[in-house]
Structure 1
Amino acid sequence: MIYCQARESVYPQMSPATGPGPRERLLDATRRLTYDKGVGIGMDAILSEADVARRSLYQHFGGKDGLVAETLRTTRTADLERYRAILDSAGDDPRERLLALFDFFTQDTGNRGFRGCRYTAADLALPDPAHPAHAETSQYYEHINELLLTELQALGHPEAQQAADQIQLVIDGALIERATRPGARPAAAAARLLRHLVDDWRQGPN
């Protein structure tokens, strides 16, 4: 996850005797390599990293397009679980829950190895609108918007949907700027804008 990263394995740790099979190894290798190198990375690199035969790729995913789409689905599930845990860790106050999520999103952009949002990167790199990956990225953005909207409605924001859209735009912009301009530091500016979007409506018209 917006975090959009899920760099650590999305699979539970297994002992060598019960290690992940070809399907899981393909997903794990694709998750790491497409984040670091982009979805345009060749299948030979993925197969080599996963130590899996090409036949297994077609057997489990039907080809690279299916593998990329399923990888995005699994990372989306892991990212959304992480975001919900962050919200819950902040307690029941919707304002504090939102601020905790904002802090996570903006602070993560400074992590070493940050490459931006994997979902945005996939959308930009795959021009065919029929590619199955786009359905997964669309669901990711919709779920993020729903998370924000739920908290804003609980906060009593009079224009919750509009605020959710604006907040999502700020977060996405901060992630893009940090990824495309390594020297930029958008986190502080984004955090201020996000707090304004959450709090300014309480002050009424100027």
Structure 2
Amino acid sequence: MSVVPRPIRPERIAQLPPRERIIDAAQALFFEQGISRVTVDAIAALAGSTKMTLYRHFETKDVLVQEWLRLLTEQYSAVLDELSSQWPGQPVRQLLGFAEFIAADLASSGYRGCPFTNSLAELPDPLHPARRLIESHKQRQFQRLATLCKEADLPCPMDVAQELTLLMEGAQVVAQNKGMDEVGVRLMRIVSKRLGVTV
């Protein structure tokens, strides 16, 4: 269920339709280099396209960034949807599954941090549409965790949801700055203990 992109492979991107090629190339480059450093020329080149074609599908680079982030929020939401289908009526297992999803990304080679947090650092304008998109996504995600905590009949479910969010968001930062090793393993140990599950 990882949403971390695979290594850039131009031959894979070349097999996609033009619009998807552009998005796939942008995602790979944004993950690897950040939003600001990546030029439209670089995206077009990796997509095997032209700037004219890129601008035909996306009016500006900002529009492309917003579409990439929108699709990324959908992928993260789909993880919770998949866990709900896989573990119906088992909110604790769904919470553990989401923590496992985050932990798995932390252990992946070349992990560069949470793409949303990294993007926010490059979008200082509080009214930037992409920034507001990320904020809305994070708020919806928190509410879903809070609902699961309530369904699990955990004491003070809102407090637990806040703690889980802080743990997972913090773990992503620690994994990125290499503050300690085995961050994913440590995250799962703490989350499991907080949910009263033996690992």
Q: Same fold (TM over 0.5)?
A: yes
Q: Which residue of 2 aligns with 1:7?
A: 5
Q: Cα 1:52–1:182, aligned 2, differ >3 Å: closer, same or farther?
A: farther
Cα deviation 1:98-124 (Å, max 9, x = unaligned): 122222222331112222211111001
Match of 1:140 among 124, 129, 137: 137
Contact kept? 1:65, 1:131, Cα under 8 Å: no
Q: Distance in 2 between matches of 1:47 and 1:34?
A: 13
Match of 1:44 among 41, 44, 47: 41
Match of 2:67 among 46, 62, 70: 70
Matches within 5 A, 1:181-192: 181=178, 184-192=181-189
Indicate whether 1:26 and 2:15 are aligned.
Answer: no
Contact kept? 2:174, 2:180, Cα under 8 Å: no
- Letter of the aligned partner of 1:198 in structure 2? L
Q: Distance in 2 between matches of 1:105 and 1:87?
A: 16
Superposition RMSD in Å: 2.6
TM-score of the aligned structures, taking structure 1 as reference length:
0.81
Match of 2:99 among 88, 99, 102: 102
Instruction: State the structure with bigger RCO (CA 8 A, min sep 6), 1 or 2.
Output: 1
Q: Which residue of 2 aligns with 1:92?
A: 89
Unmatched runs of 5 consecutive residues or more in structure 1: 9-13, 201-206
Unmatched runs of 5 consecutive residues or more in structure 2: 7-11
Matches within 5 A, 1:157-196: 157-181=154-178, 184-196=181-193
Q: Cα 1:70–1:126, aligned 2, differ >3 Å: closer, same or farther?
A: same
Structure 1 stretches (4+) deviating beyond 4 angstroms?
Answer: none
- Letter of the aligned partner of 1:22 in structure 2? P
The number of aligned residues is 191
